[in-house]
Amino acid sequence: MAGLTGRMSTVVKAKVSKLLDRAEDPAETLDYSYQKQVEQLQNVKKGIADVVTAKKRLQMQEATLKQSVVKLDTQARQALSSGNEELARTALERKNVAQTELQGLDTQVSELEEQQQKLTDSEQKLRAKIEAFRTKKEVIKAQYSAAEAQVRISEAATGVGEQMADVGLAMQRAVDKTENMKARADAVSELEAAGTFDDITALGSGEDDIDRQLKSLSSQSAVDDDLSKMKAELGQGAPAAAGEIAAPSGASSGGDGAGAGDGQPAEGGQ
Amino acid sequence: MIVRISGEDQYRLDDSAAARLNELENAVAAIVDGGSEDGFSDAYAALLDFVRSQGQTVGDEEIESSDVILPPSDLTFAEAGREFTGEGLIPD
């Protein structure tokens, strides 16, 4: 079979036979192969631990971001009810950035969850094969002549070797995916370090550098929506604004509805 | 014939399934050769589903090597291309 399957099968077989070529005497092949299998099992365990660590880091960031979303929302509400619309807007911009990051983290945590499950399954399969190999190796040692043993050892070692190669591939894919996720985790850390999700009331009246950057990061239409919703809840919105809020579905993803609502907060603010 | 789906299981398939397996693989190969991703994931999923539905899982305690090894189910279009050009999924 050519193409996909052929290539993959050839590479795995080559890897396995390279492994077996190391030893010439049957007993040595058995022991060498078994030793490699046990090492591989340790590697898988380490691989799983790495994925779990990466997942925990993302989950901790998620927890922090969730708190920030609640806090910034509360602060926006407080700012608005005390008539400081500018501060409310800043808080909502930060909340919007936090929410966007939160969604990204959520997807990545589920992906890591999936990788962890895959590796755990792979580890169990490999463990079962190694156990079967261990039993078989004793039978081979006890019952067969050297020539016959060589054939049977080769069969068994090839079978387990294939499983090892497969686990190796699964681990490599998990590591690649985990690496990709580090970029987002780092980005969130940077935002945190810059004070993006800090207490908004600690801000002065002026717009600082973080605010200018956040404005470009956050979705202004979502911020406008949030602001007019909040105004309506606090009874500050003009009657027309309340009408718009009654049908928010159109404004949530498309930009059309938000554009129409742009003028509302400024005019009906006080 | 024993077919492994990488990252999943080994399946024992009747030799008569080989012709259909070849057809399904050629369909994937044609898409990869064509260079357009359209239909790739469906075609690859069809190949794997055929193996899963027609084959019987080889038990964990059985030690068998596979006649055919299929790349994992999350194979991307780009990775499939590399498989064909010889770079492969498994590093040396």
Give this complex's ipTM: 0.83
* Minimal-distance CA residue of chain A relative to B65: A159
Give tens-digit pLDDT for A190-242: 888 777 777 766 655 555 666 666 666 667 778 888 888 888 888 875 544 44
Mean confidence (pLDDT) of chain A: 77
Average pLDDT over residues B26-41: 88
Q: Rounded mean pLDDT of A96-117?
A: 90
CA distance B26 to chain A (A): 8
- Please say if the pLDDT value at position A84 is more than 60: yes
What percent of chain B has pLDDT above 70?
A: 90
Question: What average pLDDT does this structure show over B4-23?
Answer: 90
Question: In this predicted structure, what is the pLDDT of residue A165?
Answer: 85
Written as six digits, the tokens of A92 are 């909502």
pTM: 0.70
The whole-number pLDDT of residue A42 equals: 92
Which of the residue ranges A69-73, A203-207, A257-261 has the most confident prediction, judged by mean pLDDT?
Answer: A69-73
Q: How far is residue A192 from each of residues A31, A178, A196, A212, A222, measured CA to CA in Å?
A: 52, 21, 6, 16, 21
pLDDT in tens, B39-72: 999 999 999 999 999 999 999 888 888 888 888 8
Q: Cα(B67)–Cα(B15) distance, rounded to whole angstroms?
A: 11
* Nearest Cβ partner for A160 among B29, B63, B83: B63
B92 or A194, greater pLDDT: A194
For chain A, say whether B70 makes contact (Cβ under 8 Å). Answer: yes
A214 touches chain B (CB under 8 A): no
A94/B contact by beta carbon, under 8 A: no
For residue A162, name the pLDDT band (cuts at 50, 70, 90).
confident
| Interchain CB contact of B91 with A (< 8 Å) | yes
Give residue B4's pLDDT. Answer: 92
Alpha-carbon distance of A51 to B71, in angstroms, equals 22
Determine the average pLDDT of the residues in A86-99.
Answer: 89
Q: How far apart are CA A30 and CA A141, in angstroms?
A: 9
**Concatenated DSSP letters for A116-133?**
HHHHHHHHHHHHHHHHHH
Q: What is the mean pLDDT of chain B?
A: 86
